[in-house]
Chain A
Amino acid sequence: MAVKGVIEVDVELCKGCGVCIVNCPTGTIALSRQVNGKGYNYSYMEDPENCTGCTNCAVVCPDTVITVYRVKI
């Protein structure tokens, strides 16, 4: 059964450390070109189609700014 995931990043709290990006098994996440209020490039879903909602990014995020949603399709 296929699954589809979505991550929601709290943009203003993200510090752009990039730890989620290297721990994403599907290469979904990237750093945005835009910056947040503190001047950090924040994480976002560059390739939303790939996300499986595995929660790896949220688990390793030091600031816990990622919320993960998942549905079976």
Chain B
Amino acid sequence: MNISDIIKPENKVYAKSRLLLDREMHYCPGCSHGTVHKIIAETIDELNIQEQVIGISPVGCAVLAYDYIDIDWQEAAHGRAPALATAIKRLYPEKYVFTYQGDGDLASIGTGEIVHACNRGDNITVIFVNNAIYGMTGGQMAPTTLEGMKTATTPRGRSHISSGFPMKITEMLALLPGVVYATRQSVDTPAAERKAKKSVIKAFKSQKLKKGTSFIEIVSTCNSGWKMTPVEANTWMRENMFPVFPPGDVKDETGL
């Protein structure tokens, strides 16, 4: 059978989601952000809630997320996405509101906002992309940087003596009663990506049922910041980040 006989609309089994705009992403080759954007777009499309979703984009590499997914967006100042999401959710309680944040944004400058949003149990979903580094600003140490990991500001490797330990945000937030769902996922393999998508679907459904804050950490790569190829970065992530940030549900009281 010829290739041209197979490439027909009726045989199509996978294509770019209609919610992903036809635009080239500015992310580096192999960046996990693109895959996470895809998961979000596919989830919104599958739940058929395009008109009811408001995303809050962060400061960091994903600042331009609003250019790629065809939904309503609001840009937040550094780390303030959960505060903005709270306001939007309270003004439009029937909308689905989610924030999309990196580790420099959420775990560092925005720690106060995320802790209090989770403590209030606001019905928002937080997508936390953790790549253990400040990607956009040139690869400086983030709160989630691993011990011994070399970055622009820890050239000899992070030491807990001077810089503390990698911060386990998901475990910390899971302690708060306002958080109904706290999970850690990754998008390095097709299986992991499909599992991560199920988590996002669950988080949106739980938001609709007003169960509380849902928090999804995605352990990701920053191959430019880590100075590796995309494939090496995925392997390095599995070998080095998973022991510190193990994938899986930390808390699930959604009943879904």
**Which residues on A are within 8 Å of B, measured CB to CB?**
4-6, 8, 13, 15-19, 21-23, 40, 48, 53, 55-56, 58-71, 73
Collect the chain A residues with CB atoms within 8 Å of residue B31's CB.
62
Chain A's closest residue to B12 (CB) is A69
Interface size class on chain B is 35 or more
Cβ-defined contact, B15 with A67, below 8 A: yes
Cβ-defined contact, A4 with B29, below 8 A: no
Least Cβ–Cβ distance between B68 and chain A, in angstroms: 10
Collect the chain A residues with CB atoms within 8 Å of residue B229's CB.
17-18
User: Roughly how many angstroms separate A48 CA and B3 CA in the complex, as a whole number?
Assistant: 8
Please tell me which one of the listed residues B3, B5, B13, B32 contacts residue A62 in the complex, with CB atoms under 8 A apart.
B32
User: Is B178 an interface residue, CB under 8 A from the partner?
Assistant: no
Chain B's closest residue to A66 (CB) is B14
Cβ-defined contact, A16 with B187, below 8 A: no
Cβ-defined contact, B14 with A62, below 8 A: no
Cβ-defined contact, B34 with A63, below 8 A: yes
Please tell me which one of the listed residues A19, A61, A69 contacts residue B7 in the complex, with CB atoms under 8 A apart.
A69
Cβ-defined contact, A6 with B7, below 8 A: yes
Please tell me which one of the listed residues B5, B29, B193 contacts residue A60 in the complex, with CB atoms under 8 A apart.
B193
User: Roughly how many angstroms separate A50 CA and B99 CA in the complex, as a whole number?
Assistant: 41
Cβ-defined contact, A4 with B6, below 8 A: yes
Collect the chain B residues with CB atoms within 8 Å of residue A61's CB.
34-35
Collect the chain B residues with CB atoms within 8 Å of residue A59's CB.
14, 190, 193-194
Cβ-defined contact, B231 with A56, below 8 A: no
User: Is B157 an interface residue, CB under 8 A from the partner?
Assistant: no
Q: Which 8 A-B pairs have the closest CB atoms?
A: A62-B34, A17-B30, A15-B29, A17-B29, A17-B230, A68-B14, A56-B190, A55-B14
Cβ-defined contact, A8 with B7, below 8 A: yes
Can you identify 7 A-B contacts, CB atoms within 8 angstroms? Answer: A62-B30, A62-B31, A63-B25, A63-B27, A64-B34, A67-B14, A70-B6
